[in-house]
Amino acid sequence: MISIRHLKKVYPNATPLLDVNVEINRGDVVSIIGPSGTGKSTLLRCINLLECPTSGEVLIDGKLITARGANVPAIRRKMGMVFQSFNLFNHLTIIENIMVAQMDILHRSKQDACAKGMELLHRVGLADKADNLPEELSGGQKQRVAIARTLAMDPEIILLDEPTSALDPTMIGEVLAVIKGLSNQGLTMMIVTHEMKFARDISTRVFYMDEGVIYEEGTPKQIFENPQREKTRLFIKHLKVFDEHLVVGDVDFMGVMNRFLVFAEKNQMENRTIRNVSYVLDEMVMLGLVPKLPQGTDIRLMAEYSEDNSRAEVRIEFAGPNINPLDFCDEISRQLIDVATEHYEQNIVNSLNVIHFHVK
């Protein structure tokens, strides 16, 4: 239904979309996730031409909507968009907000527009607010009205841009419940959201955006349980990463440890976790590995800390001989590693030696 080919969007100081390519099928419910500033909202705005792409193509049902001279109003009638900020007319009542576009664009009679509006207000649980002004509604109620107004135009595609980001946490659930109900009705939906549980529950597909592209896509199960790419995994698991590169023969290990302690304090790591990661870095890297590797060997150290469960893992990567630093540890070092870690794994990955410690 939606084909996006080599879509690019450049602003004077940023390029949020570098090369987006994807096919979206009729009836797909797509959640778009990723860090701030990775082009999620820009993608939606380019699809409905609120932003003009710098280059590339967007096709809806095989029609090139980014072509010069495309009938933009006709295209937009196929799409509804729900924004973060509601965009209701404050001088109109709720029912009038839902009626006005129906009469102006779809040329429905006042009676038909009102009937359609009341039907949709019943669906979103706000029929009793029809004669209220927007200022008399809560944020969650305003967003439900905005959804009803979008549905009143009978769109085939609904684009939702962070529909809960402007809401108090107590109001988010009511809006998500309405959107979840819509997902069962066969509409094609694209939802930019930071609500991960909601994205997992509602979607048929999930896009993770980064580096100006759809960095990884898959089913909710694939993305949330078994992401294949590193940035997706870090984002999904709420991991904070300490990442250092050392060169044997030019190692400022005290500097490395000081930077790790700053990282640990910033991310409020537990004292026990800090101690155990420090044991691994000191005993395995400085005492066990560095003295055994040739001068100039690159070593990459990563300590990943999960905000969700306060667990940490240490990953050591290096080229060259297949060395296990535990083989060169004395008894005290081994005891410290036993205290600090649950277990470890050593593998060859892309010609690199990789040692992975699960820290207690």
- DSSP of 162-220, one letter per residue? STTTTS-HHHHHHHHHHHHHHHTTT-EEEEE-S-HHHHHHH-SEEEEEETTEEEEEE-H
Where is average pLDDT lowest: 30-44, 205-219, 224-238?
Answer: 224-238
Given pLDDT bands bounded at 50, 70 and 90, which one contains residue 329?
A: confident
List the 29-33 sheet strands across, edge first. Answer: 79-82, 157-161, 188-192, 29-33, 205-210, 213-218
Write down the mean pLDDT value for the chain: 91
Predicted pLDDT of residue 71:
85
Kindly tell me if the per-residue pLDDT of 275 is higher than 80. yes
Tell me the two tokens of residue 341. 């870690």
Predicted pLDDT of residue 242:
92
Predicted pLDDT of residue 121:
95
pTM to 2 decimals? Answer: 0.78
Predicted pLDDT of residue 319:
87
Kindly tell me if the per-residue pLDDT of 169 is higher than 80. no
Same fold, 2-232 and 237-359: no
Which CATH fold would you assign to the domain 2-232? Rossmann fold (3.40.50)
Tell me the per-residue pLDDT of 295-328, one tens digit each, with 9 for 90 and over: 999 999 999 998 778 889 999 999 888 888 888 8
Which CATH fold would you assign to the domain 237-359? Heat Shock Protein 90 (3.30.565)
Domain range list for the chain: 2-232, 237-359
Tell me the per-residue pLDDT of 65-117, one tens digit each, with 9 for 90 and over: 998 888 877 877 889 999 888 889 999 999 999 999 999 989 999 999 999 99
